[in-house]
C-alpha cells in the first residue's frame, strides 16, 4: 500500500476526496464511530492507518495524554505533520503487517478503514491485544464484507429497473483486486464471522458490531447517500481486554 499512496497521481486523487479535505466531518460514519469511543482525557492513543492525522488531532483536542499515528505512506505522514502543531502527537511510518507496538503501552487503539488491507490480521490483532493496558479498548471500521466480497463490485440494474448490489464468492476469503482512483487496489475479503473469530482468538471481548448505514436524518441532508441504506458499506466493531 505504501507504493500506491506514495504514487503522485494516486495521492493527488485521494487528496481530492471529501474525506481527505473535510476530515472527520466528511466521513458519514464518524458519528457512529465516535459513539464507541471512551472519554479520551489522559489516555494514550494509537491510531493505525492514520492518513492525514484527522483523528489524531481530534483525540489530542479531546484531552488524550499522547497520540501516535501510524501509516505506511510517507506522503500521508508528510501531510499529517504539516497539518499538526501539537507536541502530544507523534507520527510513525510502519507497515501494519509487521508493526509491533510495545506491550501495555496504550489505552485505546483506533483504526478507520485500514484493516481490510491487512493480510495477516490475526497477527495484528494479537499485537494490538498485547499493546493495550488492562481495560484497554479497540475501535475500528472496515469495508463491510458484503462490500468486499464481489468479484466485480458495483451496482447493477435488475429486470424491474431496481439497483442491486451483487454478492458472489462471499465464503471465498482472500484478496480482491478492484479499480479505485485509476489504480488496481488489493483488499482482503473476510466474512463477518472471521472478523469476530479473529478478535476472540486474540483474547478480546467484543461489545459492539454494527453494519453501518446512514441515518434517515443524514439521508435527508444528503439524498445521494440513500443508496447506502440498500447494503452496508462499512462494519464498525469495538472490543476490549
Domain containing 10 — which CATH number? 3.40.50.150
Is residue 56 domain-resident?
yes
pLDDT score recorded for residue 59: 98
pLDDT tens track for 79-133:
999 999 999 999 999 999 999 999 999 999 999 999 999 999 999 999 999 999 9
Give the total number of structural domains in the chain. 1
Is residue 165 domain-resident?
no
Distance CA 212, CA 197 (A): 20
Is residue 110 domain-resident?
yes
pLDDT score recorded for residue 56: 98
Beta bridge partners of 112: 141
Write out the residue range of the structural domain in which residue 211 sits.
2-143+190-240
At residue 218, the 3 state secondary structure works out as helix
- Ranges in the chain, pLDDT < 50: none
State how far the alpha carbon of 185 is from the alpha carbons of 76, 116, 124, in Å. 17, 11, 21
Distance CA 40, CA 19 (A): 23
| Phi/psi-derived region of residue 69, left when phi > 0, alpha when psi is between -120 and 50, beta in every other case | beta
pLDDT score recorded for residue 1: 58
Amino acid at each position: 500500500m505504501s507504493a500506491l499512496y506514495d504514487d503522485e497521481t494516486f495521492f493527488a486523487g485521494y487528496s481530492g476526496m471529501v474525506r481527505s479535505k473535510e476530515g472527520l466531518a466528511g466521513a458519514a460514519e464518524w458519528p457512529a464511530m465516535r459513539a464507541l469511543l471512551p472519554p479520551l482525557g489522559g489516555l494514550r492513543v494509537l491510531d493505525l492507518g492514520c492518513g492525514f492525522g484527522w483523528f489524531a488531532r481530534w483525540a489530542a483536542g479531546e484531552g488524550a495524554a499522547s497520540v501516535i499515528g501510524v501509516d505506511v505512506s510517507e506522503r500521508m505522514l508528510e501531510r499529517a505533520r504539516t497539518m499538526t502543531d501539537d507536541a502530544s502527537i507523534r507520527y510513525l511510518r510502519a507497515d501494519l503487517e509487521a508493526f509491533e507496538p510495545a506491550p501495555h503501552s496504550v489505552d485505546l487503539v483506533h483504526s478507520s478503514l485500514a484493516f481490510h488491507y491487512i493480510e495477516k490480521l490475526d497477527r495484528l490483532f494479537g499485537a494490538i491485544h498485547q499493546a493495550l493496558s488492562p481495560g484497554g479498548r479497540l475501535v475500528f471500521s472496515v469495508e463491510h464484507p458484503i462490500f468486499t466480497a464481489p468479484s466485480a463490485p458495483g451496482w447493477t440494474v435488475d429486470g424491474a429497473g431496481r439497483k442491486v448490489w451483487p454478492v458472489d464468492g462471499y465464503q471465498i476469503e482472500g484478496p480482491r483486486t478492484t479499480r479505485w482512483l485509476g489504480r488496481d487496489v488489493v483488499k482482503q475479503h473476510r466474512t463477518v464471522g472471521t472478523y469476530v473469530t479473529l478478535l476472540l482468538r486474540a483474547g478480546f471481548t467484543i461489545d459492539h458490531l454494527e453494519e453501518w448505514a446512514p441515518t434517515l436524518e443524514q439521508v435527508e441532508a444528503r439524498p445521494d447517500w440513500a443508496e447506502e441504506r440498500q447494503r452496508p458499506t462499512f462494519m464498525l466493531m469495538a472490543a476490549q481486554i
